[in-house]
Each structure stands twice: as structure tokens, then as C-alpha cells.
Chain A
């Protein structure tokens, strides 16, 4: 592709166990609700968001959080 697609944070709800490390790594992008379910706060990531988004992905202990462009699905 000539232009990179818009990237998003994706949560695999079957794998997520609510540890909240993503929220600690990138509090502006994702938080846990009252039930410890992750809520994505920024739907479409800008280039400026990328380092934090990557940090959130890396911080997930069970690899339930991924980065994906719309073309990947």
C-alpha cells in the first residue's frame, strides 16, 4: 500500500484478563471500566499516538492487545 492504513488498538476479549497494564502504559488511549474491561478511548491512532500505543501493546501480559490497520481484517 502507498499510504499506511489507519491503525487501531484491538482487544481480544477472550484473552484479556483485565490486568490494566495497557492503561498504565498509555492512559490517554485506553482505560479499564468499572468491570475491569478495557475501553479504547482513541479509535483512530495518529502518528503521534504510535509510541504510546506500541507501549500499551507490549505491556499486555497475555498479548491480548494488538495494533491493526483496517486492511488487516
Chain B
């Protein structure tokens, strides 16, 4: 029998308000403890370093996403038609249906309209001078854009972000936030599975296309409503948080804002740096399918993993000076959208939205000043509840 070292252990609660308010010191401790660290409170292993996060996400055959949520109840609730949980070949059929509309090539014709709408929204805010970057910008833009692309009715959209927030909380471990959010799933189900049916989705929309894919036999009929669910629950709140961070980071780092004003070709890189620096999705689950040996530790098949995206993106083993916000750094390989088979299907759209907002701000704003941000707490997502800002026009 070979000697197997057990994984280092930690009793940190990465889902507590205290840690979530400022998670980076705790992430650093986990990274320094080892490539996998047993989280005693949850009986799962944190994967905090860049290298292993990329490895786990890149190998779906060795690491299952069936337990993507940190509690069994929600994994079962999501059904086998959750594209996040599925393996090929079902996964590939569902993913292709999404990609037919979400791939960059498919979004090209939407780009001018998305840019026009960003410009219109931002112009109005510049006229006001002072506004809340979360309520008036970050929470408005993705709901409008993505809501229209999915083909959702206007009615009820005002409640969407609260529902989606609850849906993301349900990915958490069995904690108070998760338990408080479960009753709210009924509203999500009512809105999507009952309300966003084929006839209620706009003609030509991404939502309608899902039902047409089922008609054509590309995906099982039962998968269609769950793909609409994926569009609704994954496509808005994540971008909301990225846009909130965008204003906050640019206000906090005026030198970076001026650098961007001087060279607008940096916009894609700047938005990536915002994503790297503050990852909207902080953690998702995986399960080890066959014994996994990493350095001198072997995790047995069945071990549950908490893959820490936000930590990987700040790993000093991968990034020079990781806690420096630097829009000129080489950041193509950030892991905010995940990686591999289950990488975010909407990343081209998120990027388009983010770059459109940044460009609209560059068109009209010379300085961004921010007041004190209020943090929003969610088991999975990192973002702001409010951020008062004042913009100085060009």
C-alpha cells in the first residue's frame, strides 16, 4: 500500500457574509494550504489554484458537473435537462442549440443595436450626472438586452433579478441563504416553465428557437423549457455584477480609466481585466469520477469539489501581482467564464454588453467618482447592491 497524504483542512466558511465581504485573504490561505483543501464545514474540497481549476474544468470525463450545486436538493430540482449538469451527447445537443444563437458569429447582427442601446442608456445617465451604477445601469441593461433576445414578455421582468438571485443562492450549501431561497423557486418555475412557453416567447427570439430545435428533433422535447431556464437564470445577473464592478473598478483606478481613454483599443482587454479581478461566479461544484491524485494527495472517486474561479483568477502562481488591477496585462486566460465543455455559453454576449457599456462611457465621460459601495451577498455570485457614482462629462 502506498502512502497517501491526506489533504490539508480548513474550517473557513467561504459562503459567510464575513468572508464574502473580502474573500481574497481567505482564498490566498486556501491556495497556500494546497492544491485541494478539505472544507470541514461542507465535507468537500476547495480547488483554489489556477492550475487545478483549469485542469478540473477542462476534463469533464474525470470531473462530473452533475453535482454543480453544493446541495443535492437543487441538483435534483434542475433535472437531467440542465445543460450545466449534462454530459455529452445530451450536453452537446443542448449546447449547440444555445451556440447557434449565442456564438460570436451569431451575435454579429445584434451588435449595432446593443451598442445603440448602451449609448442611449449611458447618455441619459451622463445628463443626470449622479446616479446609482447598480440600480440605474448594471441592473437595467442586461435585463433589457437579454430579456428581448430571449423574447420574454415585458410583464414581470421587474421581478426577474430577485428570482434569479434566489436561483443562484440555491446552488449554495445547506445554509440560511439557500434555505431562504428555496421557496422562491416556485416563482422562477412559474415565470419560466409556466409563463415563458413557446407562444409567449417572441417570434424569432432565442427562446422560441429552443422550441424550434425540439421540433426539429435536435434536442429532446423535455429539454426545451430547461434551456429557456438556462437563458433566463444564467444570462442576466452575472452580467449585472460585471457591469457594477466595471464602474467601481474604473472609479477606484482613475489611472486605468485615463489609460483606456487614451487607447480605446484596450476596451476588450479592460473588460477582461474587470472579469478577472472580480469574478461574478465565485464557485461551482464538480465531483471526482475516478481517483484523482494531485501532488501528494489522492481524492477518491465521489469526492465533491468546490471550484473557486475567483481564487484562480488571483493566483500568484499564475498572475504577476494578481491583486493589481491592470488593464494592460495579458489576461486572455482568465477563468471567469469557466473553461472547456461547460464554459459559459453566453460569454460572447456578456463581452458584447460589457464592451458596449465601456465604449458608451468613454464617449461621454472624463472622470468617474464613486461613493461607498454596498455589497450584495449571494452564495455563488459576487457583486454590488448599490454604488453611488458621479460622472464628469468630456
Contacts and interface: CB of A to CB of B under 8 A. Distances in A.
Residue with the highest number of chain B CB atoms closer than 10 Å, among A24, A59, A61: A61
Contacts of A58: 333
B337 A17 contact: no
Contacts of A25: 332
Given A21-B332, A58-B333, A36 B341 contact: no
A17 B332 contact: no
What is the interface of chain B mostly: helix, strand, loop, or mixed? helix
B128 interface: no
A71 interface: no
Contact of B92 (A14, A19, A20): A14
A63 B332 contact: no
A36 B348 CA distance: 12
Interface string B100-115: 0011110010000000
Contacts of A36: 103-105, 108
A24 B332 contact: yes
A18 interface: yes
Interface in B82-106: 92, 96, 99, 102-105
Interface residues of A, number: 17
Contacts of B102: 17
Residue with the highest number of chain A CB atoms closer than 10 Å, among B102, B104, B337: B104
B340 interface: yes
What is the interface of chain A mostly: helix, strand, loop, or mixed? loop
B347 interface: yes
B341 A62 contact: yes
Interface in A32-73: 35-37, 58-59, 61-63
B339 A17 contact: no
Residue with the highest number of chain B CB atoms closer than 10 Å, among A18, A25, A58: A18
Given A24-B332, A58-B333, A63-B58, A18 B339 contact: no
A3 B375 CA distance: 57
Contacts of B333: 58-59
Contact of A61 (B92, B99, B105, B343): B343
Contacts of B96: 14
Contact of B105 (A14, A24, A35): A35
Contacts of A59: 332-333
Nearest to A59: B332
A61 B337 contact: yes
The 3 closest A-B pairs by CB, nearest first: A36-B105, A17-B103, A63-B340
23 contacts: A14-B92, A17-B99, A17-B102, A17-B103, A17-B104, A18-B103, A18-B105, A19-B104, A19-B347, A21-B332, A24-B332, A35-B105, A36-B104, A36-B105, A36-B108, A61-B343, A61-B347, A62-B339, A62-B341, A63-B58, A63-B340, A63-B341, A63-B343
